[in-house]
Copies of this chain bind each other. A is one copy, B any other.
Amino acid sequence: MLRVSRCALAAVLSLTLAAPAFAEPKPVTPAQADKALAKIRGGAGFKTALATLDAQHDRIVADTITLTEIPAPPFKEQKRAEAYMAMLKAHGLADVEMDAEGNVMGLRRGTGKPGGPVVVIAAHLDTVFPEGTNVKVRREGTRLFAPGVGDDTHSLAVLLGYIRALDAGKVQTKKDILFVGNVGEEGPGDLRGVRYLFTKGKYKDRVAAFFSMDGTSAPRVTSGAVGSRRYRVTFKGPGGHSYGAYGLVNPMAAMGTTVVEMNKIKTPTKPKTTYMTSVVGGGTSVNSIPDAIWLEVDMRSESKDELAKVDAQFLQVVAAAVDAENVARSTAQGKVSAEIKVIGDRPTGNTREDAEIVQMTAAAVRAAGYEPVLGASSTDSNVPISLGIPAVTIGSGGQGGRAHALDEWIDVSKPESVKGMSVGLAALLAMAGT
């Protein structure tokens, strides 16, 4: 899910951030970008494409509902992936396939030579919600309520809308466009789908630009990668009878202290740095001293240094909590210990704000009538950004809220929705060349 953590006005777009260590792309000015976008949007092909998005809006909504109601928990995206692959095939793309990681994709060939540069637009198949979550969509007027509906299922449906719209408008691009439904964006997936695309996938050396469509917000242009560090800590102890062995160390105490003490850590608002104790489990029965309690935590920052700082503090908290419990109660049957496992490690980074993809996308936002909101987040774009490949994360259009909560929703009121969708389509064409 795209979450913007830092805002910048269009007026300060040209501010230079610390440049990543890769070959400098040719800088583009806002004026150049606005001119390019005006040309794209003025073309007959684009106009027909936009009219098609409008005319077929109900179909995009229907596809959103169909896909949302196919559960896709982390590592269990296969059923939804197969359904989406069938849809990509039905849309006439070339080389439709599922790769070894579970990503599904298909190519819309451009006019360039086969095997040339590719512009990727991807939406993620997975949701944060575990198996058994009720994913039935409830509709109230123009609002759709369901876990995962906006993060990121609606984007999958919008991508299909783009294919139909480009075909209807007979729009030919210079570069090939690869449409992707990828796995593993959310928490435990740790970006495994996109990592595969860029390290092992067959297009890995051909990606000229990467768009992740994640969440609904049309004005957002996420060019910064918020890094994250995630742990699963398992506190272990000897266990025993809650009454007969009363007084022995309890791993629950070490976990509780970790939660309480972590919540005392101070992190800066800028660069935005956060932490969360998210998931917990363990224990044998109500009348037993638990022998193992695990806790999952999420730490994020726009700044590598701040992330390292909160990370180090967390590890100190765990060590101190374990030590405190081994002093507080008896270790006669064994001590409490903590097994710390990294379950997520996402790189920080930035696509330069004067890079073509950032400027063109910001111009596409402006051309649709919005004020661009540049920011940093933790999305599939983290991977290409950290590799120095031009990448941004954009929205699917419309409104949405309560991502990662059971009452997640999107609003698919048509005028706003189509206006929002026009941003991604125009930015895509700007990078693919027409």
A residues lining the B interface (CB < 8 Å): 1, 3, 5, 74, 128-130, 186-188, 226, 228, 230, 232, 238-246, 250, 252-253, 255-260, 263, 272, 274, 276-291, 293, 296-298, 300, 328, 333, 343-344, 377-378, 402-406
Interface pair B276/A246, CB less than 8 Å apart: yes
Q: Among B5, B246, B289, B293, which residue has its beta carbon within 8 angstroms of that of A243?
A: B5
Knowing A129-B284, A188-B285, say if A274 contacts B378 (CB, 8 Å).
no
Q: Which of A1, A241, A291: most chain B Cβ within 10 A?
A: A241
| Pairwise interchain contact B404-A288, C-beta atoms closer than 8 A | yes
Question: Smallest CB-CB separation from A281: which chain B residue?
Answer: B281
In the assembled complex, 5 residue pairs joining A and B whose CB atoms fall closer than 8 Å, in A order, are A187-B286, A241-B405, A245-B403, A278-B283, A279-B286
- Asked if A282 and B285 make an inter-chain contact with CB atoms under 8 angstroms apart, the answer reads no
Number of copies: 2
Say whether B239 contacts A252, CB under 8 Å.
Answer: no
Complex Cα spacing A378 to B293, Å: 25
Q: How far is the CA of A272 from the CA of B1 in the complex (A)?
A: 52
The answer on a CB contact under 8 Å between A256 and B246 is no
Cross-chain contact of A284 among B238, B252, B279 (Cβ < 8 A):
B279
Q: Which residues of B contact A300 (CB under 8 A)?
A: 242-243
**Chain B residues positioned under 8 Å from A230 (CB to CB):** 286-287
Cα–Cα distance between A115 and B427 once the two chains are bound (Å): 89
B404 touching A240, Cβ below 8 Å: yes
Determine the residue in chain B with the shortest Cβ distance to A263.
Answer: B253
Q: How far is the CA of A128 from the CA of B279 in the complex (A)?
A: 24
A280 touching B283 by the CB < 8 A rule? yes
Closest chain B residue, CB of each to CB of A246: B274
Q: Which residues of B contact A291 (CB under 8 A)?
A: 405-406
* Contact in complex: A279, B274 (CB < 8 Å): no
Contact between A285 and B278, CB atoms less than 8 A apart: yes
Contact A287 B128 (CB under 8 A): yes
Q: Which of B244, B279, B281, B288 contacts A285 (CB 8 A)?
A: B279
Complex contacts, A228 vs chain B, CB 8 Å: 287
In contact, B281 and A280 (Cβ under 8 angstroms):
yes
CB <8 Å contact, A403 and B241? yes
Residue of B nearest to A239 (CB): B405
Whether A256 contacts B253 by the Cβ 8 Å rule is no
**A244 and B1 in contact (CB under 8 A), knowing A260-B256, A289-B404?**
yes
Q: Which of A186, A188, A263, A280: most chain B Cβ within 10 A?
A: A280
